[in-house]
Each structure stands twice: as C-alpha cells, then as structure tokens.
Chains A and B, each alone.
Chain A
C-alpha cells in the first residue's frame, strides 16, 4: 500500500519457547489512529515494542516509511513512545523532561525554550514547568509523557496503554483529548489497549488481537457490527453467542438449530449442515409472550439489572445459557419468572464461520 507508514510483514516473535506474535501482517496508514486491542498476553504490547525497537523480531520485517528498521536502534527510529507508567525522568523538571529529546539532539537553547513552551501549552501544562514528576497528578504526568514524546515530531507515536493508570472519569476525558490532539497534529497514532470501549471511542481502525494473531482488522463499526470470529464478537461490546448448525437456507436467511432452540440469522456463503456461531447484541434482542415464526428460543426472565442509561434483562434459556437484552426503560408488562420467547430481526444477528483454529480453541475451552 502506498500510503502505509509502518508495515509489518510476516512478523514473528518468540520469547524462549513461547510464541507471542505469529506471522503478523499489518499496514498502518499515514495519519490514522490505529488501535491494537486484545486481552493481556495477546502480543499487542510486544508488537508495539518491536516497532519502537525495544524487542527484536524473531522473523519477518518491519518498515517505517518504506525503510527497514531491522538494524536500527530505538534511538535511531523516527517513532516515539508514550509508556504505560509514563516513565518520566524523576530527577528532572517537567520542562527538562519535555526538552529531553531536543537536548539530546543538541538543538540550540532558545529554540528548545520556544518549542518546549509551545508543547507544554499544547498539553495544557503551563505553569507546571518547574515541577518534578512526583509533584504531579496522574493526568498531568500523562500529559508530560505525551508532550515529551511529541517534541521530536515523530512520524508515528506509539502509545502503550497510556490511560491505564487513570480513574474512569479522567480516562474518558483524556480519550477525547488524545483523539483531538491526534487529529490536529495529523500524526499516526498506534495505540495499545485492552479496553474495547476505549478502542471504539478513539480509533480509525482497530486490530483485535488474540494469542499473537490479528483476528480482525477494521473500523470500529465494522468490528462491532460484523465480528468475524466468535472471540471478536465476545470481546467487543456485549454479545449473546450461540453455537449451532445450519438446517436450511432461504433468501440469505439461515435457519439454525442450537441447543437453546431454533433461530434465524442472515448470512452468506453458508451451506446446510455447516456449523457456525451466532452473535446478537443485547440491544437487538426482542421478546414476545407468544412464539414467533422461525424462532423457538423460549426462556424464563431471571432478573433486571439497572445500568443507568439502560436496563438489562437476564433470561435463562432451556439449555442453561443466560442471555441478556437491554432497553432504555424497564418493560412493566413482564416480571421475573415470566416465560417469554426471544427473537430478533435476522439481519441484526451475525453469522460467524466456524473456523478451523476456532474449532480447536473452542474444544480446548470446553
């Protein structure tokens, strides 16, 4: 791709016997906000560290702006990192922390002063220049870390769970600020997080990783609405998942038999007899007191969970599975222990291929 700024080709990483990243191919586009999302141990941080140069690849190649960085030390690479726990230099003031990259490059003193001043203003830390890191709050430390990484005008900014240590409210605020900053500066951000909500809020594209493999790469909407694997469906947002077998196909609608009952889902390229997963978001699940045609998913209302903006209803299905649906308001016509029938618009549910690796993993889980 011509406008890719960082490119990973067949990148493999092993720590001893453990493979942490497997055969990864990823093109990061110029100016985009790309998030590597996954549970801990999925290889997302390792991937970031390989781009920064803190880890060597076991196989494959990484290029930045078309140039291989294989033989470049971290200090020779045109990328900068915002570290998970800020990694601010404790013996230096805010000013000197931010100025560090310029001091190393022997930039003239007055230029340092003006550039650092502008950067400190950009991250809204004016007046804090002479403080030491331990005199700052978590959010302020975070800003210093970002300013320090941006001062070198990197082509790519790598962020390793930068908001992980902040409380929820500050985190939300910083998410918005970071996103705005990225848009304003037009720098490519590669962002690592395990927080799917954060990824959905901030990213242009998300790479969902699991066990060293990118399971799905796409825009937040793509990933939320059309998860391609069972893992992605379960990891991103909340989802009700079923495993089933295709019993019939009609006009792009699959009739599926599951342990919870028969249901409908829209899906292409599925054949009768094929196994599959079905994912349906809580907001799309409907219920009725009478059976609905094509569906036979009876359940018993378990309880209502008040979440602030929505009310979730937990329903026990006949196979013991629990399924949740959400509404803005609690429906007064049903109560706990009522028998109801669940259904949805087939187009709202997603049919997911029963992949080979998927099968293996699923069997392991069982």
Chain B
C-alpha cells in the first residue's frame, strides 16, 4: 500500500526536483565556491582559496556602485509601489471583465522583446529624436536635452519594465480583500482614510511585500536596462557582474558580487516568510 502511494509523489515532484538540483542548486553552489577562489593571470579561475574577491568589494569603487545600485533599486521599487498600488486598487474595483482588460494592457510589455523596447527608447529620446524635437518645436527647451545614457533615463526604464511585477501581486491581494470588511469598518464609524489605514493597507500588505520582492531583486541585478539606456557607462551591480564574467574575466569577483546579491535576496525572502502569516489569515 505504502509503496503504491509513493510512486505518484515521486513521479510528480521528481522531475522538477532533479531539474532544480541540476540547473539551480549545483550552479549556485559552484558560484559560491568560485567566489572563494582566486583569479589567474590569464583570467582563468585558479583553485586557490582566497578572500580577495570579498575584500575587493569593500573597495570604495565597488562600494559606491553597490550603494548606487541599491539606491536605484529602492527608487524603482518605491516608484513602482507608488504608481502601482493606486492603479492596482483601481482595477481591482472594476467589474471583472474590465479588470481583465487592464491586466492585459499591463502584461503587454511582457510580450515585447526587452532589447527591442529599449532600443526604441534610445531612438525616441536621442538628441535628434521625436521627444527632443517636440520639446524644441513647442518652445519648452531651446537646446536638445541629453536623455540617453543618464541615470534618470535608466531609472525611468527600470520603473517601466518593473511596473507589471508590482501591479499584479498587489492587484491580486486587493482583489481578494473582502468588501464587507470595508463596509464593517465604515459601519463602525471609520471614514475612508481611516479604513484604508486600518484595514485595507494591513490586509493587502502581503501583496505589497510580494511586489517589493518582485521589483527590488530584479532591479538590483538587471543589466540590460543600464547597459542600453545607460550606454554601459553608468555602472550598476548587474552590468559589473556581467563584465566580470565577460570582458574583464574576473570570475571570482563576479561570483562574489553574485553572492552578495543572493544574500540580499535571501534576507528579503526571509523577511517575506515572516509576514506570510498575515496572508494566511486573509481568508475569513
């Protein structure tokens, strides 16, 4: 009897487990392993244990890049929450069929190729591009504004590409929020603002936290956006890691940076699991 029951479990969960171990767990341990090795003169990995890569991270250059990346990721996250929450709230209150249309609109960026989208941004925002033409023709500016390869455009690009990740989890938790709880709050004397603070916000917090994780982590590691909109001149953790594994060929340093990202991610996930108990209570 017992054996019979085990077979389906193995058949169902087995393939994914093997897949994850082969292609996620082992490579991740390999990265951690490499981060403690040293770099050979030809850019190869020398299996000679060393803390050098981690000590390099303390160097002010890297420290600045890391803190700047954290700042941009934090800005992106805050902007996505600030823009995304009201929007998510709005669509969650629409009739189901309308909400589905809005969700589709939000999803469209997922279906377009990132490189193509970013390239079109470069064309739009370049010195002789439509945006600058418009600004000059309408007399808002006298000379062309430099948009491309600036931190601002990188931030704008980040927010644009991350917004759906913020809207979707927040939408789902707002949508799940039982309308009668809001009515009960109003019934007991709370105005709209108080109800929002005391009921809506705490009960949709799991969605907000998911949004934070889904936006902050990729923002921290993303390299396509800074590479293209920042012209590779604006340095973030993401493109530095990419360069260490690519052009510069300092794998241990790249690995150490990756480990730092993993650590930050791990911390966030840890915090998230501490908050999930709220989510479980949402169903009443």
Complex interface bits, A86-121 against B, C-beta within 8 A gives 1, otherwise 0: 111111000000001100110000000000000000
Between-chain CB contacts (< 8 Å), 23 pairs: A53-B186, A54-B183, A73-B186, A74-B183, A75-B186, A75-B187, A80-B188, A81-B184, A83-B184, A84-B180, A85-B180, A87-B178, A87-B181, A90-B281, A90-B283, A91-B203, A91-B278, A100-B185, A101-B189, A104-B194, A134-B280, A134-B281, A152-B188
Instruction: Let me know if A52 and B187 touch, CB within 8 A.
Output: yes
Chain A residues engaging chain B, CB cutoff 8 angstroms: 52-54, 73-75, 79-81, 83-91, 100-101, 104-105, 132-134, 148-149, 152
From A73, A84, A133, B284 is in contact (CB under 8 Å) with A133
> In this complex, what residue of A is CB-closest to B183?
A54
Contacts of B190 in A (CB 8 A): 75, 100, 104
In the complex, whether B191 has a CB less than 8 A from a CB of chain A is yes
> In this complex, what residue of A is CB-closest to B181?
A87
From A74, A84, A134, B186 is in contact (CB under 8 Å) with A74
Interface residues of B in 170-211 (CB under 8 A from A): 178, 180-181, 183-191, 194, 198-199, 202-203
From A86, A91, A104, A132, B188 is in contact (CB under 8 Å) with A104
Complex interface bits, B137-156 against A, C-beta within 8 A gives 1, otherwise 0: 00000000000000000000
Contacts of B186 in A (CB 8 A): 53-54, 73-75
Bound complex: CA of A133 vs CA of B283, how far in Å?
A: 10
Instruction: Let me know if B188 and A90 touch, CB within 8 A.
Output: no
Contacts of A105 in B (CB 8 A): 189
In the complex, whether B282 has a CB less than 8 A from a CB of chain A is yes
Given A101-B189, A105-B189, are A87 and B281 neighbors across the interface (CB < 8 Å)? Answer: no
Of A53, A81, A105, the most chain B CB neighbours within 10 A belong to A81
Bound complex: CA of A148 vs CA of B191, how far in Å?
A: 17
Instruction: Let me know if A83 and B183 touch, CB within 8 A.
Output: yes
Instruction: Let me know if B284 and A88 touch, CB within 8 A.
Output: yes
Given A132-B281, A133-B284, are A101 and B188 neighbors across the interface (CB < 8 Å)? Answer: yes
Closest beta carbon of chain B to A295's beta carbon, Å: 53
Contacts of A83 in B (CB 8 A): 180, 183-184
Closest beta carbon of chain B to A132's beta carbon, Å: 6
Given A75-B191, A87-B178, A104-B189, are A134 and B284 neighbors across the interface (CB < 8 Å)? Answer: yes
Closest beta carbon of chain A to B276's beta carbon, Å: 13
Bound complex: CA of A220 vs CA of B188, how far in Å?
A: 31
Bound complex: CA of A101 vs CA of B284, how far in Å?
A: 20
> In this complex, what residue of A is CB-closest to B182?
A87
Instruction: Let me know if B181 and A152 touch, CB within 8 A.
Output: no
Contacts of A152 in B (CB 8 A): 188-189
